[in-house]
Amino acid sequence: MSTVLELTLWACVALIGYAYVLYPMVVWGLSRIFGRVPESPAMAGADLPGVSVLIAAHNEEQVIAGRIENALALDYPPDRLEIVVASDGSSDGTASIVRGLAERRVRLLTSPLRRGKAPVLNAAFRALRGEIVLLPDANTFMDPDALRRMVRWFANPRVGVVCGRLVLTDRATGQNVDGLYWRYETFLKRCEGRLGALLGANGAIYAVRCSCFTGIRSDTIVDDLVIPLVTRLRSGCATVYDDTAVAREETPPDLRSEFRRRSRIGAGGFQSMSRLWRLLGPRQGWIAFTFLSHKVLRWLCPFWMIGALAANVALVHEPFYRMTLFGQLLGYGLSAFGLVAGQHAPKLLRLATMFTTMNAALLVGFWLWASGGQRGIWQRTAR
């Protein structure tokens, strides 16, 4: 019995270590050996395709006018750019604000009933005029050259999705506050992009070839993960990451908002496993490896943590495992202290707190998905 418990403990520790520590090193090495830096095709101004900027919005009266102004200021030929706001049952002034801008290449698609983002996107795509569809969040602001940088990739007919880079900013100062974890995720995107195995997109800034989009299920929770991967599965298209196409977004104002957001993403991750399992097939190439390592094993990490703790408790009668149990409990205790200390905690302590709370949010997300408590209808983050 002790042997089984020891194997369980160390297997769980190994899976956690692989998902967060070893995988980044492995994917970096593989991207250097087998990958290549994608080269964007040249695209003359006369060849630029028509683009629809599609903004799904629910009760965004505080930011929607600024969001539209940002889209209108993009460096792109006005006659080839339309801005479409799809209002999902907004009960505030969102729709009236958009109607007031209708003369400036802005269209409103409105649904009086709250349906959720996936049905809104499915319906809106059928009404768009652009060959390329840009899908930014309602609270995202793009650099003026971001759209041109993304669109150039579509000169290659194999490219179906292009993902840009999201920069997180401080709400008060507007300064870049990309933390260690966000830089870590950006690093993984670059490596996976070199392998041609990019997973999902930044919901704040990604574009889809309209002809490649065939719709997503109406209860989809995390569209920016599912749309690029389903599009790839159905059409065989390539997905490109361009870190020179930049969008900026404020960080959530408090930990509760961030935890709720991560729980929703976690629920969407567990939901997507049942719909994207074909990505794990050997015929999918490198993306089978990246999807398993970066997504599936990461989503299951809370269960590895529980398994490691439970097995360690069962082995507490042995002196060595008393020390490892003390180490685990100390780690959780420091994470709790870091949560209380907030921004005053040392960076290493904040990193431990983020790791623990992120996996706690994933566990809550699993419960929301398994119990049916998380639907495709999203709640806007307080800003």
DSSP assignment letter at 210: G
167 and 188 share a domain? yes
CA distance 230 to 213: 9
137 and 22 share a domain? no
For residue 308, the model assigns a pLDDT of 97
| Total domains, the chain | 2
188 and 327 share a domain? no
DSSP assignment letter at 380: P
CA distance 251 to 240: 25
Burial 255-267 (b: 16+ CB within 10 A, else e): eebbbbebbbbbb
- Which residue from 257, 84, 271, 235 is spatially nearest to 161, judged by alpha carbons? 235
Out of 251, 286, 306, pick the residue that ends a domain.
251
What token pair was written down for 218? Answer: 């109406």
127 and 275 share a domain? no
- Which residue from 369, 376, 368, 336 is spatially nearest to 352, judged by alpha carbons? 336
For residue 68, the model assigns a pLDDT of 93
160 and 303 share a domain? no
What are the beta bridge partners of residue 53? 83, 134
Out of 251, 284, 306, pick the residue that ends a domain.
251
What token pair was written down for 372? Answer: 């049916």
Q: Which residue segment(s) compose the domain that 281 sits in? A: 1-34+271-383
Give the pLDDT mean for 43-50: 81
Give the pLDDT mean for 354-364: 94
149 and 290 share a domain? no
Can you say how many angstroms the Cα of residue 363 is from the centroid of all Cα atoms in its chain?
Answer: 18
215 and 154 share a domain? yes
221 and 302 share a domain? no
Is pLDDT above 70 for 175?
no
Q: pLDDT tens-digit profile of 191-207?
A: 999 999 998 777 789 99
206-209 and 159-169 strand pairing: antiparallel
Sign of the CA dihedral with 43 first, then 48, 51, and 53 last: positive
Out of 251, 279, 305, pick the residue that ends a domain.
251
Is pLDDT above 90 for 229?
yes
pTM metric for this prediction: 0.89
Instruction: State the chain's maximal CA–CA distance in angstroms.
Output: 75
Percent helix, strand, coil in the chain, to 5, is 55, 15, 30
CA distance 41 to 318: 62
What token pair was written down for 102? Answer: 């209708």
